Structure 1
Amino acid sequence: MLDRISLSPIPVGCDAARPLELSLLFSNPTRSNGHTVPSTIIRNITAVSSQLAYSETILENITTISTNDVPTTKGTIQGLLYVPDILSDDSCFELSNQYVPANATRQADLPPTDYILIALVPWINSGCTKSFMTAASMDPLHAMLVYRPDDDDGQPPEAGSDLWDIDSGVGWKRTNHFPVYAVSSGSGERMMQQLSLYSGDLSEVPFADEINKTYSPNSADYVRVWTQLTVTPEPSLLAIWALVLIILGVLVTVIGGTSLLMHYVQNRRRASLRRRVMNGEVNLEALGIKRLTVPLTHIQTYPLFTYNYNPPKFSSPNPRKSLQSPGRSSFDSASPSSSYNRGKNGDRLDYQPTCLICLENFESKVTIIRELSCGHIFHPECIDEFLSEMSSLCPLCKASMYPRGHCPKITNSMVRRELSTRKLRSHRALGISFRNGWRRLLTRNGPGARPLHGGVSISTELGTSIQLQKQPSPPGNTRQRMQELITPIDETNSDDGRPQWKRAARTVFPGFS
């Protein structure tokens, strides 16, 4: 007969046990050729026919009292259910007879083979329970089920209750070699009653006629209650902390790994941007990323000349309007008497009669000018202060005067801005190329496409000693003019003004936007 009991969860820190009790048909050992044949399980009657077996499932009111030395096989404790024998001279012998039927299954009623056993004991008092435990200590016991008779049919007392004390202490829980589980009073009494029904031979057990007719067993075979306890350890406080630490460790590993990977990627991007800036491939200031200034020693490498203006040999009603051409080139000073400007590629330049910074006209053969690499000319004192203190770009054409091989400190915000600019340019490349094609076509066919002879030449009458002298600062209104000529910088590239959490996130995750 199978008595199946499913035990409900128990308090945190204890093991949850789900006992499953089955009605099994065991063979009786016989002698064959002088050797003992061990008893074997013939049928699981409950599994084959639930009509021929007792079965009960307990889903609640379970308390785990002790879990010491739980012998489990894949989380299962199983064995034959029985009541341990206490000595007749024990004071609890007569007392226990009130709760344990005389025909309840004892060890003598079980097959004479070393099956694992599970005890069922009424917890009458601590002394009687100690007697039952002492009697069971010599048996192959793997678990004990207890119940408090005549108690309320509800949840048994908690494991820490004084009602479970033996000899006024809890030392027995540590010294016991088997776990102890408490069921409710009603469940324990029903189990004890069923245990008394399955202690006799095949002519006495419930449904004996049907079992004999169905299975044709030997009259000496046994039908007994087989109990299985599925033990599920509840997470202890230590286990919970271990789980928390594992989760935290995984999170730290993931976050740290992600952060290190992003730092590595950003470091590569900073190195790439630094290399391109040093090679002159990227102009940070022209992109509005960072304000740059040019070292004075580099500015003084741009040549100084004496401004020399030669009027054109033909009359023009509006020479300034007719002298419109590209501005990025340098003056050819090979011949002071030349009547036009020639750039690096032989292109003729605009007529430049005025310093764009201070807006003062140049005096022919008097004013000293500095020519930038783009071909535009300014007063030395104006352009020196502008490039060394204001901007690295030519005030007129915005060409970069920043020296090659130099690079400011590259930050992640610069990398993000330059990367976004490149992506934006790649998306607009086709449209821009199309528009530029039409613009070049219109320029070739326009009235200003034909170069006109200008009237400016420059001469190298000053020596290198002038180039190395620091030029005097221009007046205050000129500095205001310099501020107006500076290329605007996008302040959103900086982390200044951002919330603290965003700055912290960008520190940990450089790619965070």
Structure 2
Amino acid sequence: MSANDVQVVTIIVPNPEYDNSKSARIINSDLGYSLRLSNAFTTLSSNNPNNYDAIEGLLYVPTLSPDVAPACAGSNDTIPANVTTITDFPSNQDYPFTAVFPWTTSMECTEAYLAQARSDAVRGAITFQPSTSTPDAVADVGDDSWTLADGGHWKSDNQFPIYAISYTAASQILNQLALYSGNMTEVPNGDLLANQFDPRDYPRLFAHIDLQGGTNVPSLWIFLIIVLAVLLGIVIIASIVMHIIQRHQRNVLQRRLERGEVDLESLGIKKMNVPQELIDKMPKYTFTAAAAPEVEAPAPAPAAVLAEKTSKRSSNPTQQQSQSQSHQHQHETSFSQTTCPICLDDFTPHTSTVRELPCLHIFHPECIDLFLRDNSSLCPMCKKSALPAGYCPVKVTNLMVRRERLVRRMRERRRAGMAAAAARAAGDEPIPTNRAGHASLWLQRRLRVGAGHPVAPPPEGGSAASNTRPDIARIRSDHALSDMRTTDVEMGQLNPAEPRDTRRETIAVPSDIAAQGPAARRAWRRERLARQQDEAYHVDEATARQADVGRPLWRRVVGRVAPGFD
């Protein structure tokens, strides 16, 4: 592996005669020699069989045998006579060494230096070319001057890295090796060093070569990369799981909306209107007041009444659709509701045309059509949705899912609290609950009885259903009023013991509006009801928003990461 930095410093090697710890100490650059070469060298051989993180060793010049000395006669002029050699170190210590030698034009001389360095078991070697026209530059590794005419076998023969530096830098290092080859008092600043260190120690030059791709400092980066990769993987997996859960919850809420189990507008989550084509499909009748029955008869079961209602309107579906779309205003039907809840005008028997909503409340078409189309999809009386089951004009979002869940749980807790309060007030047995732990129909029956509207007992025998239209109208009114009472009580907005008629606020129409006739009076009351509906929706919306953002911060954060944990 190639190097990216070569640093030479002066160190104090302890004398093994009194210190065998090998705890060398670096001399400050003000008192000792130091040199740093960054990218000012060439890697000739990157062998590193021991996988050292850095090539470190005491600098020295290999000593050649006398038989090859004549081959290096020309290169000896570049090496000072008293340069540091391996004999200048204690012989009984296993020090790491780094050789410094010239790469001469004599291949025999260069091979002799390589062989001696190999014999000394060096960690690495630094070489240079003594005869060069550019002493401050280093020839490229592909230059022919770095070959030994052996096909590159010298690299495999010498299993240590070899680096080439410029002649100028090598001369400076060799001169310093000559200065730091003696004892403590003979080196530069020896007197000062002798005061700080033991005079018996050896001041020598030490080389440190950083390797690219080493495992010392880069190991920290590898560890950090692994940690970041693991964290990124966890975030990605958590994000995928979160999106899968959120998509499942959106699909669940979408199906509940299509089945008519959830009304987003009544929960203050999404305001919706009824399209005109759906309003046109709602039945219209000519109003006829219901006659009071002479003998009080038990109320028929709702299923029987609805079946009777369907059979009396039309036994042919095609005929029924034709009547509801083209001749509805000519079909007279008896109703117990005698006043339009929007304009507060009484219906005129055999004259007024009324539109019936799915919740069985009736209104003037000109009143309810504008209200449903422009203001709200909820019935002004019972706050039930006028949209048909399965009709979902909005795209479900995560915000809708979260707020619907929070509002639903908030209302369930309110129902449970009301049931517990009613049980304590009446001294009854514990409230029966369903499998979800919520108050069952017992609560609804208790609230209706407490409001002065006892639940009608089933017909004797289970099949005695009256066939008179006034009974159907009475059950319609009682059924809608009971549902309205339960909804309002669950919302905590009404007192169940207070009659419905006294809860309706009546404000006199301004005289200037009343003077303009019934049409202006009805328009004024329609606008007033629309404003009241908007205000009620804004209150519900603020409640839903407060339930969403009013939670502790940690619950909101965890709820984003793990949907459903609220």
Q: What TM-score results when the alignment is normalised by the length of structure 1? A: 0.52
The answer to whether the aligner puts 1:178 opposite 2:163 as a matched pair is no
The match for 1:130 is 111
The match for 1:446 is 508
Give, in angstroms, the shift of residue 126 of structure 1.
7.3
The match for 1:88 is 66
CA gap of 1:162–1:258, structure 2 versus 1, over 3 A, is farther
Select 1:22's aligned residue among 10, 14, 29: 10
Q: Note the aligned Cα RMSD (angstroms).
A: 5.9
| Deviation readout 1:203-259 (Å, 9 max, x if unpaired) | 7555566666776735xxx634231414142599xx999999998897676456435
Select 1:148's aligned residue among 129, 151, 161: 129
CA gap of 1:225–1:368, structure 2 versus 1, over 3 A, is closer
Distance 1:142 1:24 in 2: 20
The answer to whether the aligner puts 1:55 opposite 2:34 as a matched pair is yes
Query: Aligned letter for 2:73?
Result: E
| Deviation readout 1:67-126 (Å, 9 max, x if unpaired) | 3217577x4443221111233323633233232233322222321122111101112237
The answer to whether the aligner puts 1:268 opposite 2:249 as a matched pair is yes
Give, in angstroms, the shift of residue 171 of structure 1.
4.9
Distance 2:357 2:504 in 1: 31
Kept in 2: contact 1:343–1:375 (CA 8 A):
no
Aligned with 2:174: secondary structure?
helix
Distance 1:369 1:149 in 2: 111
Query: Aligned letter for 2:3?
Result: D
Distance 1:271 1:103 in 2: 90
The match for 1:119 is 99
Give, in angstroms, the shift of residue 141 of structure 1.
0.7
Give, in angstroms, the shift of residue 351 of structure 1.
4.8
Distance 2:74 2:112 in 1: 12
The match for 2:317 is none
The answer to whether the aligner puts 1:287 opposite 2:271 as a matched pair is yes
Distance 1:248 1:290 in 2: 52
Distance 1:20 1:108 in 2: 20
Distance 2:195 2:345 in 1: 122
Superposed, 1:4-19 pairs within 5 Å as 14-19=2-7
Superposed, 1:284-433 pairs within 5 Å as 287-288=271-272, 308=288, 341-342=336-337, 350-351=345-346, 372-376=358-362, 400-402=385-387, 406=390, 408=392, 411-412=395-396
Kept in 1: contact 2:184–2:202 (CA 8 A):
yes
Distance 1:177 1:210 in 2: 40
Select 1:227's aligned residue among 206, 211, 214: 206
Structure ranking higher in helix proportion: 2
Aligned with 1:141: secondary structure?
coil
Distance 1:210 1:144 in 2: 31
CA gap of 1:267–1:244, structure 2 versus 1, over 3 A, is same
Distance 2:354 2:344 in 1: 19
CA gap of 1:172–1:283, structure 2 versus 1, over 3 A, is farther
Aligned with 1:87: secondary structure?
coil
Distance 1:291 1:135 in 2: 99
Give, in angstroms, the shift of residue 189 of structure 1.
0.7
Distance 1:246 1:150 in 2: 52
Kept in 2: contact 1:14–1:67 (CA 8 A):
yes
Kept in 2: contact 1:26–1:111 (CA 8 A):
no
The match for 1:196 is 178
Kept in 2: contact 1:394–1:400 (CA 8 A):
yes
Distance 1:191 1:262 in 2: 65
Query: What residue ranges of structure 1 are gaps of 5+ in the alignment?
Result: 1-12, 30-36, 311-329, 354-361, 424-432, 435-439, 449-508
CA gap of 1:17–1:446, structure 2 versus 1, over 3 A, is same
The answer to whether the aligner puts 1:64 opposite 2:43 as a matched pair is yes
Kept in 2: contact 1:62–1:183 (CA 8 A):
yes
Distance 1:401 1:178 in 2: 88
CA gap of 1:250–1:293, structure 2 versus 1, over 3 A, is farther
Kept in 2: contact 1:17–1:230 (CA 8 A):
yes
The match for 1:79 is 57
Kept in 2: contact 1:63–1:183 (CA 8 A):
yes
Q: What TM-score results when the alignment is normalised by the length of structure 2? A: 0.48
Query: Aligned letter for 2:59?
Result: L
CA gap of 1:207–1:43, structure 2 versus 1, over 3 A, is farther
